[in-house]
Each structure stands twice: as structure tokens, then as C-alpha cells.
């Protein structure tokens, strides 16, 4: 697994999974992720497996159907790739208790990808590397601010002020 090949795989995740429509993204996830894929979406507990990630993708496309993930910088070493990204879109579905108001958002974050050759692929002449794990860290406070329209409020204040 060369660092350049691993970077290409991470780029494909953004292009073919995150930025695609739901059905295309879910189909690409089948090709790019390991069966036991782990996804940490800005929280300590992982979502496990491709099916859970496909549900996550569908949900987030309901929240912002026009979402666009842009990787500004990518660094790779060994089986790890780190990408500094911006995600932008229009808030059109309920998110953390905030009703959709059609507000645009743009926030930055960092994804840590871990690549692995699945066991069944190791026996092939050309084993296929896949994404085994993504740990996502984004500015949730800023995202909630932009979605709610409440500037400089703590996340719990934003949710309660919008939900009430």
C-alpha cells in the first residue's frame, strides 16, 4: 500500500461516496470500504459496517442534498491518510434538533483514513486495498451556528433556542 495509492483511495471516497447522489454513493461504498468498516462521525463511538455507513450517507443527504466535500490538503504515511476538508451545502433537513431553514453552511474539518487489504483479497495476485476506518473531526459548533442562525451560542443553547 503506497501512500500515493492510499491518497487516491481517500480522494475516491470524497468524489464517489460523499459527493455523489445517495444511490451512487452507496454503490461506491460497497467497492471502497471493508465489510467491517468503522466510521467515527465526530463522536467517540463507531458506526460499524457498510450498511450503517450507507444509512449515514442517506441521512446526511436528506439534511443537505447539495453537500460538497472539498479536500484542501492530504498527507499520507503507511496505512493512514489525513485530509483537511471543507464541507458546504444548504440545510434542508432536521439536524441536531434544528429545523431546516435553507441556510447555507461551510465548515472545516479533518478526516483520518486507515486503509487495509481485506483478508479475502490477500489471496489474490493483486490484493485490493480498501478503507477500513474513517475518524471525522469537524467544527460542529460552527455548523450548528450556521444552520440555526444563532451566532456565538453554545451548541445546547442553539438547539434549545431553535427547538422551542
List, in order of start, the domains of the chain with CATH numbers.
3-163 (3.10.450.50)
pLDDT on residue 151: 73
Per-residue pLDDT tens digits for 112-137: 999 998 765 545 555 689 999 999 99
Q: Which residues of the chain have pLDDT under 70?
A: 119-127, 152-164
Residues near 90 by beta carbon (within 8 Å), at least 6 away in sequence: 64, 65, 66, 102, 103, 104, 105
**pLDDT value for 128:** 86
Q: Model-level pTM?
A: 0.85
Place of cell 474539518: 109
- pLDDT at position 161 is 35
Residue with cell 451566532: 151
Dihedral angle of Cα 81, 82, 84, 88, to the nearest 10 degrees: 60
Amino acid at each position: 500500500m503506497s501512500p500515493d495509492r492510499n491518497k487516491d483511495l481517500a480522494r475516491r471516497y470524497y468524489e464517489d461516496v460523499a459527493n455523489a447522489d445517495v444511490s451512487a454513493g452507496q454503490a461506491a461504498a460497497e467497492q471502497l470500504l471493508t465489510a467491517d468498516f468503522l466510521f467515527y462521525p465526530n463522536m467517540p463511538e463507531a458506526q460499524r459496517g457498510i450498511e450503517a455507513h450507507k444509512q449515514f450517507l442517506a441521512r446526511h443527504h436528506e439534511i443537505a442534498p447539495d453537500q460538497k466535500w472539498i479536500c484542501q490538503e492530504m498527507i499520507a504515511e503507511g496505512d493512514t491518510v489525513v485530509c483537511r476538508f471543507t464541507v458546504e451545502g444548504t440545510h434542508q433537513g432536521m439536524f441536531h434538533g434544528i429545523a431546516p431553514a435553507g441556510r447555507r453552511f461551510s465548515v472545516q474539518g479533518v478526516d483520518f483514513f486507515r486503509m487495509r487489504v481485506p483478508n479475502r483479497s490477500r489471496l489474490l495476485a493483486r490484493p485490493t486495498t480498501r478503507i477500513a476506518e474513517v475518524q471525522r473531526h469537524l467544527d460542529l459548533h460552527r455548523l450548528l451556528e450556521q444552520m440555526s442562525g444563532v451566532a456565538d451560542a453554545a451548541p445546547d443553547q442553539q438547539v434549545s433556542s431553535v427547538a422551542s
